[in-house]
Amino acid sequence: MTISRRKALFGTSVAFAAVGGRHVAAQEADILAQRLEFEPAFEGAALALDAATDSFMGVDNGGEVNAEAASEQLRAALATLAEVGVGAEAALVARTEQADLVADILANEVDLAPDPEAVEDLRNAEAQADADTWQRAFTDILAQAFGIDPQLGPQLRDALIALDTAQDLPRLAEAVRKGDWWAALRITRRIVAKIVSRAGLSALSERLGEDAYRQILRALARRAVPYLGWGAFALSLALAIWENRERLGNLAD
């Protein structure tokens, strides 16, 4: 593993920055100890996530999506972290860019532990039978990914619009219709990156309410977003879209 990748994996969350030389030194020592304890698990999980992404993009399968392999490898990534008990005790070594997410998770007393079962939970997500547009069907799947009431779909769509996804969703729909899963994953990752940004978290919290927002935080934690970044959640969502490809492909934007 390269030094740059280590830095990406083990950036210190600014949510835990301390003031005062002695306190800072003590906290830095705690962070170093946490890094040494969890580093092998983070490395193993990152490699499994890379393998899962390659499988989804068909790198070793003639360009065809290998959903089974991708799901298995993604599950392995989350299981690696779950097995070593990564949770609140490892929050000090969460990724730097996920500082806002981690701060909200801790403030809302949400469990930080990843959950391998989250892979199948999302892969089995389906658009509601009455979904008559691509955007509504996508929102249905995203609501299930977040574990929130599908009746909150209009508020969730409003949040997505506020996050400047108006162009992303039609492009995602077109990629799915063409069977261009490289592009579909890339666009899905862009959408998820907006969702887990500070602006995204604020939009979700304001529009969906406290209870639903806590569910969303748990959904992101279950897929190890604080430790692996948004890649694992984006890949899970892309797998759900792939499973619904025939239905989605027949819907208008």
Lowest mean pLDDT among 2-6, 123-127, 236-240: 2-6
Kindly state the average pLDDT of the residues 145-167. Answer: 90
Kindly state the average pLDDT of the residues 49-70. Answer: 93
Residue 217: give the domain boundaries: 3-249
Q: Which residue has the higher pLDDT, 3 or 85?
A: 85
Q: What is the pLDDT of residue 248?
A: 83
Residue 41 has pLDDT above 90, yes or no: no
Residue 57 has pLDDT above 80, yes or no: yes
Q: What contacts 84, CB < 8 A, 6 or more positions away? A: 38, 41
Among 118, 112, 122, which residue's Cα sits nearest to residue 38?
112
Q: What contacts 132, CB < 8 A, 6 or more positions away? A: 251
Q: Are 114 and 221 in contact (CB under 8 A)?
A: yes
As for how many domains the chain has, the answer is: 1
Kindly state the average pLDDT of the residues 181-199. Answer: 94
pLDDT tens column, 13-23: 444 444 444 55
Q: What is the pLDDT of residue 19?
A: 42
Confidence band for 226, pLDDT divided at 50, 70 and 90: confident
Kindly state the average pLDDT of the residues 56-85. Answer: 90
Residue 3 has pLDDT above 50, yes or no: no
Q: Kindly report the CA angle at 251 between 138 and 170, in degrees rounded to 5? A: 60
Question: One-letter amino acid identity for 168?
Answer: D
Question: Token pair of 173, please?
Answer: 């729909």
Q: Are 193 and 160 in contact (CB under 8 A)?
A: no
Q: What is the pLDDT of residue 184?
A: 95
